[in-house]
């Protein structure tokens, strides 16, 4: 309950007095103090507010704090309605994956105020000032790439430096709306010792940049290097310091890139955007549901379609398997695009529950399109592809699969079942093989039932 106290308030100047007096100590008027009951304020709160460093939260102002678009509607949605002034975004990815290209595209779109899709301006917004700071490339290199991407604009500024103080000085004097730093591992600070890229330098540089951007309502995008395992390099503090963590993934030999949101304080988490590398940069794949199928020939055995889900995006991916006679004393088992231990486990289940003998065959399996899947929902499609190649019988042309196979050969439910089912129905896939779920007209309970429906008619 709110604590109340009695005090005396002057009817003339509204000054407070703990006790009644004939004369107001503030305005010197006589007989103006009147008894009143007010909320009791903590003395700590009074001192804190007088320090001018804190305010009552509901009095916080949103002036100059309106979000602005990044130039890609798909990215705006997952960031939480565009860029938030004063926020910090960390972008990671392998060398050559397209981080600098994508960020320079965003910089040009924000500077010009245009939303570009498939090289066509679909709508506009108010232009904003953008500063592109690079510690890896010279200004002529940045300009050459910007000319190729056709993003040069008067509002797009650039600086090539390895000193974080140079960038902080520009933030404090010019207050750009968007700052892109490529990359934080190439910067050094006078506040830390050692070479650029070590733990203390990364901490100091990131902290100085985030503090300066928050004070000046500048949106900050930091590019971070990754280790050979694909994790963000540097201290874990870097991920805690920022508001959003984005990873750009994919194979440099493939045309597609996956932008995955790993952390997000302003929007949905674990979201995914599929990009396609084109001559003028990365373009959003508007409908990735069938993008990874390519030119698929459904008349061949050993191929199955899985309705996979990454974040909340469903897309169809081809699972391929090849079962062939071996000439080795120990049969070979190879898997690409998924954990090969999953293949070993499923083959053991098939041998035990379906009485099959894989001791005289090599088995190879892969995920088509260069994708990499980690979810358990691909188990059923992998089993169907292996059985199809083993019997050398193609699966139904529009069949689709998803479900986890346990050690007893039962098909278990997986996450986002409704999303998968809706997308499969929308794309016209039938028959649909999936775990037993309420309101689901298609299901299989065990791998023995799957074998009976597909290969024992």
Binding residues for ATP: 93-100
Would you tell me how many other CB atoms lie within 10 Å of the CB of residue 404? 17
Write down the residue that tokens 């055995």 correspond to: 301
Spatial separation of the C-alpha atoms in residues 104 and 357, rounded to whole Å: 55
- 8 Å CB contact between 277 and 291: no
Residues making up the binding site:
93-100
Q: How many residues does the chain have?
A: 457
SS3 at position 291: coil
CA distances 166 to 128, 160, 198, 209, 216, Å, are: 21, 10, 19, 11, 16
Task: Please work out, in degrees rounded to the nearest 5, the angle formed at the alpha carbon of residue 241 by the alpha carbons of 273 and 80.
Answer: 35
- 8 Å CB contact between 87 and 243: yes
- The single-letter DSSP state of residue 391 is H
- 8 Å CB contact between 10 and 29: yes
- 8 Å CB contact between 193 and 200: yes
Q: What is the token pair recorded at 340? A: 């090969």
Strand partners, 39: 4
- 8 Å CB contact between 292 and 369: yes
Q: In what order do the strands lie in the sheet with 281-284?
A: 156-160, 130-134, 178-182, 219-224, 88-93, 244-249, 256-264, 272-278, 281-284
What b/e readout covers 298-307, taking b as 16+ CB neighbours within 10 angstroms? eeebbbbbbb
Spatial separation of the C-alpha atoms in residues 450 and 405, rounded to whole Å: 11
Minimal CA–CA distance to 388: which of 294, 292, 453, 316?
453
What do you get for the CA distance between the two ends of the chain, in Å?
Answer: 74
Q: Is the dihedral of CA 371, 105, 124, 70 positive or negative?
A: positive
Q: Is the dihedral of CA 121, 138, 247, 293 positive or negative?
A: positive
């Amino acid at each position: 309950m709110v604590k109340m106290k009695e005090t005396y308030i002057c009817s003339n100047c509204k000054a407070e007095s703990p006790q009644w007096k004939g004369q107001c100590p503030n305005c010197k008027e006589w007989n103006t103090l009147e008894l009143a009951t007010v909320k009791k304020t903590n003395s700590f709160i009074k001192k804190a507010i007088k320090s001018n460093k804190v305010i009552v939260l509901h009095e916080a102002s949103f002036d100059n704090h309106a979000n602005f678009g990044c130039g890609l509607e798909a990215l705006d949605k997952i960031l939480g309605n565009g860029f938030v002034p004063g926020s910090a975004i960390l972008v990671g990815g392998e060398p050559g994956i397209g981080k600098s290209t994508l960020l320079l595209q965003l910089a040009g779109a924000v500077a010009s105020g245009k939303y570009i899709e498939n090289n066509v301006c679909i709508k506009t917004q108010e232009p904003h000032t953008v500063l592109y700071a690079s510690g890896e490339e010279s200004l002529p290199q940045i300009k050459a790439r910007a000319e190729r991407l056709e993003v040069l604009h008067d509002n797009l500024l650039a600086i090539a430096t390895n000193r974080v103080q140079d960038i902080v000085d520009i933030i404090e004097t010019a207050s750009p709306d968007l700052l892109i730093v490529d990359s934080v591992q190439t910067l050094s600070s006078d506040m830390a010792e050692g070479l650029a890229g070590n733990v203390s330098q990364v901490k100091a540089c990131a902290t100085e940049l985030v503090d300066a951007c928050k004070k000046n309502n500048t949106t900050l995008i930091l590019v971070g290097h990754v280790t050979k395992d694909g994790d963000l390099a540097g201290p874990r503090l870097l991920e805690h310091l920022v508001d959003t963590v984005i990873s750009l993934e994919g194979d440099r030999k493939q045309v597609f890139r996956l932008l995955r949101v790993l952390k997000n304080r302003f929007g949905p988490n674990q979201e995914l955007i599929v990009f396609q590398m084109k001559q003028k940069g990365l373009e959003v794949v508007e409908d990735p549901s069938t993008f990874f199928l390519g030119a698929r020939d459904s008349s061949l055995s050993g191929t199955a379609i899985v309705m996979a889900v990454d974040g909340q995006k469903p897309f169809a991916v081809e699972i391929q398997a090849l079962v062939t006679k071996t000439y080795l004393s120990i049969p070979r088992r190879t898997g690409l695009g998924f954990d090969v231990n999953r293949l070993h486990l499923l083959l053991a289940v098939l041998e035990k529950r379906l009485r099959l003998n894989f001791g005289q065959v090599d088995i190879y399996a892969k995920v088509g399109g260069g994708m990499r899947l980690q979810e358990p929902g691909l188990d059923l499609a992998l089993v169907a592809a292996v059985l199809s190649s083993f019997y050398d019988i193609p699966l139904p042309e529009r069949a689709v699969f998803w479900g986890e196979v346990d050690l007893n050969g039962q098909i278990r439910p997986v996450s986002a079942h409704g999303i998968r089912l809706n997308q499969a129905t929308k794309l016209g896939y039938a028959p649909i093989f999936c775990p037993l779920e309420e309101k689901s007209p298609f299901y299989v309970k065990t791998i023995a039932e799957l074998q009976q429906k597909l290969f024992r008619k």
